[in-house]
Structure 1
């Protein structure tokens, strides 16, 4: 089923903090948010260099007077306009996420924030309290969680097609930082600087992505304890890791493993998740996002294709084009931004029924990601010991 009508009644007046002309992630945010016309980009503080940010904003079609030098000016002056912004996306280095998101919530704005939401669980709890107190939506951009085959996997697991879940193997292990590229790439430098990146590099930067996919697929699993070992193979990155292995024990006895890495030389992206049950297994790889592998013990392996009528109805709701045509990152992000828009609109109308039916990476997902990174670091820094989750 091709869903070509993904619209809310009135576009949300939207701004960006960060995401300037040299920002890859900023382009992805805009492409996703604007695709279904549910957001209208009307303002922004796009760059730490105010003039460069203003020039870029004008290129995007934003009025020069609404291209601000910093996020505080953006929030303060937009609040004085009758047509001021209703939501903001935060696409800045990790070390700024908490302050910007906190200020946005205090200004009464909905927020879409890059992960990690912040550095510490204490900060995450502050943001969660603020979001609930102000009745504001916070979305976190675990982008591939918006892909249809993640919904298919969730439905198949819920229908007991795999049997008892025993193992969950996850990885996000690329090779683009297998050498000290930050020495000549300013866009990478902040990721390996503890002052800007926080207590981890790859655990927070890539490891939380497949972890959230597992939470979508397997909402019944709860982490009981974990053990993490992390390494800095490019020595100048220490104390931040560029590789980490995390072993997790779930309540009920299932086991999980996450490989987080930026030094998997030769790998393009390497984000995969494999769920292993007592009768069958599922595997999804983001470099081949339109195929879901389903392997029943003793039978030939099956490949389920995106967009086909044999899939679960929930996996067909987000189709944008017919089966056979590839959909990937931009479509998955667009699906998330559509859900963000639905949630923001419902929140503004106090439509609790709609809010109760929506699933997207929300403030709770952001808090869980921060908790996981914090516990991984605690385990690794004590010699890779088991720690309670």
Structure 2
């Protein structure tokens, strides 16, 4: 990532993420750190006047605040100093069309998850990104924590022994009642027209799932079983709670509990990896610590930034040990990786690209594939299905 810090910032735009958008604020805070990106244009809102007003607040040229993504891409393509990359922070139903148009205009893309509704759409974007030689990244924003890199390195080094169990959860309680009735920002998430075939499976579960794939890249799902429920009945057919069981090739077993109705819980996103001699556990509410439990020894908490960690876990540190890093730092690390990948792609540096790991289009396809298989299992009555 450090190679990008002295480089000219990548000219960057956003689609969505306008005034009042928490996720838009996170994108800008992460991308603009260390001036890896320079926000020069945008189509921030479906209401053009409101979006243009917001762009002015950000200090953008009014001529570069566009009414929609099509105008943005066309207008910027006509400029010598046009954008080189775009981030998509809009409802799920728009991701495919916006990403496709951006790639067709030769832009690098960072997209919110899920990448799109179906595996067929996701694979079409994957092919297009390859054809155009562009980066298409997905914002699995928790993957920038150094403690996740530490877990990956420990598994790779065999410190846990043979991996037997993967227990994942993301189960908050903030939607345990029909809060969407009075909140449009939530309402679209429980409407199949905008959210797609799932609610919490696509919105929440893919986060810890991706983390497990980072930590245990050798594990491949063989089959799964999913049962999903709509405890707030108005959300049906979309689920607000789901349990998924997974059998991996080689014999390991996984569970995923995903919920928006876990009353009283804040986030409760946890990843626990159980091996034959030791276990690891990471909790996103305490992301600077990684629990390491060796059978027959006292449990220990590995602290972010300490010299005893693997080098990979220290590479993205912004501040010294003892100062807690949080979600903004994780996203900043992620955007640093996106920038490095874009730079390497632009100069045709295959060696540099091979040394980078970030949530790319393949990770986006994998997330859509997992949701599609879960929905297929659940809609068949909660049965085991071969993973495809």
TM-score range, shorter chain: over 0.9
Question: 2: CA distance between counterparts of 1:17 and 1:350?
Answer: 27
1:232 corresponds to 2:233: no
Per-residue deviation, residues 318-360 of structure 1 (Å, max 9, x unmatched): 1100111000100000000000000001111111111110000
Q: 1:5 to 1:354 in 2, by over 3 A?
A: closer
**What SS is found at the alignment partner of 2:263?**
coil
**What SS is found at the alignment partner of 1:97?**
helix
Per-residue deviation, residues 81-137 of structure 1 (Å, max 9, x unmatched): 000000000000000000000000011100000000000001001100000000000
- Map of 2:209 onto structure 1: 211
| Offset at residue 140 of structure 1 (A) | 0.3
Question: 2: CA distance between counterparts of 1:357 and 1:120?
Answer: 29
| Offset at residue 22 of structure 1 (A) | 1.4
- Map of 2:196 onto structure 1: 198
- Map of 1:147 onto structure 2: 145
Per-residue deviation, residues 63-94 of structure 1 (Å, max 9, x unmatched): 10000000000000100000000000000000
Question: 2: CA distance between counterparts of 1:97 and 1:319?
Answer: 31
Contact kept, 8 Å, 1:224 with 1:249, in 2: the verdict is: yes
Question: 1: CA distance between counterparts of 2:330 and 2:6?
Answer: 18
- Map of 1:34 onto structure 2: 32
Contact kept, 8 Å, 2:3 with 2:340, in 1: the verdict is: no
**What SS is found at the alignment partner of 1:25?**
helix
- Map of 2:299 onto structure 1: 301
Question: 2: CA distance between counterparts of 1:23 and 1:388?
Answer: 39
- Map of 2:249 onto structure 1: 251
Question: 2: CA distance between counterparts of 1:387 and 1:97?
Answer: 28
- Map of 2:179 onto structure 1: 181
Q: Which runs of 5+ in 1 are unaligned?
A: none
- Map of 2:283 onto structure 1: 285
| Offset at residue 50 of structure 1 (A) | 0.1
| Offset at residue 275 of structure 1 (A) | 0.2
Question: 2: CA distance between counterparts of 1:231 and 1:308?
Answer: 43
| Offset at residue 10 of structure 1 (A) | 1.4
What TM-score does the superposition give when structure 2 sets the normalisation length? Answer: 0.99
What TM-score does the superposition give when structure 1 sets the normalisation length? Answer: 0.98
- Map of 1:370 onto structure 2: 368
**What SS is found at the alignment partner of 2:329?**
helix
| Offset at residue 4 of structure 1 (A) | 8.3
| Offset at residue 8 of structure 1 (A) | 4.8
Question: 2: CA distance between counterparts of 1:88 and 1:371?
Answer: 24
- Map of 2:321 onto structure 1: 323
Question: 2: CA distance between counterparts of 1:77 and 1:346?
Answer: 26
- Map of 1:57 onto structure 2: 55
- Map of 1:125 onto structure 2: 123
Question: 2: CA distance between counterparts of 1:132 and 1:100?
Answer: 17
Question: 2: CA distance between counterparts of 1:208 and 1:30?
Answer: 23
1:80 corresponds to 2:78: yes
Contact kept, 8 Å, 2:95 with 2:111, in 1: the verdict is: yes
- Map of 1:387 onto structure 2: 385
Contact kept, 8 Å, 1:8 with 1:345, in 2: the verdict is: no
